[in-house]
Structure 1
């Protein structure tokens, strides 16, 4: 039986499985809550955005700023890509 993670996590079983696979608490909660919503389909591929490798460093930095990635100002393009994918 999955542990109750409170009102902020809608699918405790999914959350725990993602955490065991190494996902951050924030990422696991986002996915678990999306799977619990009838309006979202997290298993379906999203929009048509190009892969991060095709973004400019300035665009990557702006996205990292939107997501409040710590240390973004000192990161290279590859580090920004890695940080964004870890979010």
Structure 2
């Protein structure tokens, strides 16, 4: 297995960055989360986020509106499960 490259000097928490990348998050998202966590404790980071119901609790109309905000292509033909999957990939 190839050795992992360092994410670079701009990432403040290499360990968290690599964990997030392994989970499938983008480089940008992983770096943003890792840097925010490095500025405060990790437990504090979880408290800062907003509160929103899980996508499963949203209506199809609400999911389509959110998908439109994110320019998800084909959203008008997607089922609720497909919309949820597309939004989670963003």
Q: Classify the TM-score, shorter chain.
A: 0.5 to 0.7
Q: For each residue in 1:61-87, what CA deviation from the matched residue of structure 2 results, as whole angstroms up to 9, or x when unmatched?
A: 221222333443432211111222233
Aligned length: 86
> CA-atom RMSD, angstroms?
3.2
Q: How does 1:1-87 map to 2 (within 5 A)?
A: 3-5=6-8, 7=10, 9-38=11-40, 41-44=44-47, 46-87=49-90
Relative contact order, higher structure (CA 8 A, sep 6+) = 1
**Unpaired segments ≥5 residues, structure 2:** none
- If you compute each CA radius of gyration, which structure gives the higher value, 1 or 2? 2
Q: Are 1:2 and 1:12, in contact at CA under 8 Å, matched by a contact in 2?
A: no
Greater than 6 Å deviation, 4+ residue runs: none
